[in-house]
Amino acid sequence: MKCEIQLLDASLLADEKTLEELSYWFGVMNRTNGWHYDLDHIWILSELEKAGIKPGATIVDAGAGQGVLQYLLASRGYNVISLDFSPRTIPNRALGIFSIKGDGSAAIDYWHSYMNVINYGGDKTAGLLRKFSMERLKKIPAYIIKNIHSRILWLKERFVANHEQYGHITYIRAPFHDIPLADAVADAVVSVSAIEHADIELFGDNIDSLTRLLKPTSPMLLTTSATKDENSSYNETVAGWCFSRKRIAELLPDCSIEFDGDACERSLLSSTKFISRVDPYYFQKGQLFYARNFSTLPYLPLAIKFQQQTSQ
């Protein structure tokens, strides 16, 4: 299997059409757009297109959670197997738009600390009022406007849009190393920022398990977090790894690697498009880009592409 690893830079943001599509679905589903999610999603969607993955195909979204990618893929006509080890219920925003089956809250014989970290819901506006302060009160109008806009998009999608060509979504609860699916069920496997939250000791098993799901010549497209530092780091708060070039080369020794961290960071920080699309959440006090006074990124977005080379 061929494997390629690269950092994702601002050149991806030239895809205005996909950016608009992403904004729409983040709005419909009322989800915060992670600061690197534009890059992750555009790269994955472009690679699916390059691989000739057509509507009607089956795509496994590994570590999907309540992320937007599964809904965007279904809206494009793909049938999505939505895999995650954390318990989930179908979000209200998806009802009446997508056909979702399966049990996202099934009991499994596995536990990971990330299950205590992830939160698939929450009313951010109400959260501002839990601790009274003028700083929090000042943010309420912006949240109200954002929520109204999101509600309008959802109403348009729910009651006006044509869903006849949408694919269906199937929830499965399982860890990456023990997936209750048959071999070769997927035309592609995709994953947005999830592999770093799985057990590092099982990294090879996780990759093998996900690869097993691929049909001949099918791609697997993963994004994760990278650091320019010599050594990887683990963040206990988010129960996630940030991989160094050295470590990712050890984990995936047969992969070709393009890794110029300084160039990637310069590309993003000098991009007005990138800065303009960072969600206001990240500019709040205590968040990653507070008051826009930042000259470095907390980590770099890394893409890993596996491609089956032979047919069976």
Please report the domains of the chain, with CATH numbers, ordered by start residue.
2-302 (3.40.50.150)
Comparison of pLDDT for 37 and 291, the residue scoring more: 37
Half-sphere exposure (Cβ direction) of 273: Cα atoms closer than 13 Å: 13
Q: How confident is the model at residue 138 (pLDDT cuts 50, 70, 90)?
A: low
CA-closest candidate to residue 191, choices 35, 25, 90, 80: 80
Count helices and strands in the chain by DSSP H and E runs: 9, 11
Residue-wise pLDDT for 255-287, tens only, equals: 999 999 999 999 999 999 999 999 888 887 778
Give the least confident one: 101-105, 213-217, 228-232, 307-311: 307-311
pLDDT at res. 204: 97
Residue-wise pLDDT for 52-101, tens only, equals: 999 999 999 999 999 999 999 999 999 999 999 999 999 999 999 999 99
Question: Residue for token digits 């950092």?
Answer: 7
**Pairing relationship of beta strands 100-102 and 79-84 according to DSSP bridges:** unpaired
How many Å apart are CA 248 and CA 261, to the nearest integer? 14
How many Å apart are CA 87 and CA 84, to the nearest integer? 8
Give the least confident one: 79-88, 138-147, 231-240: 138-147
Q: Which phi and psi angles does 176 have, rounded to 5°?
A: -60, -35
Burial degree of 91 (CB within 10 A; 0-12, 13-18, 19+): middle
Q: How confident is the model at residue 140 (pLDDT cuts 50, 70, 90)?
A: low
Q: How confident is the model at residue 27 (pLDDT cuts 50, 70, 90)?
A: very high
Instruction: Read off the DSSP letter of residue 186.
Output: B
Q: How confident is the model at residue 128 (pLDDT cuts 50, 70, 90)?
A: very low
Residues linked to residue 192 through DSSP beta bridges, in sequence order: 223
How many Å apart are CA 258 and CA 261, to the nearest integer? 9
Whether residue 222 contacts residue 41, with contact meaning beta carbons closer than 8 Å, is answered with no
Q: How confident is the model at residue 145 (pLDDT cuts 50, 70, 90)?
A: confident
Question: Does residue 164 carry a pLDDT above 80?
Answer: yes
State the pTM of this model: 0.93
Q: How confident is the model at residue 33 (pLDDT cuts 50, 70, 90)?
A: very high
At 281 the three-state DSSP class reads: helix
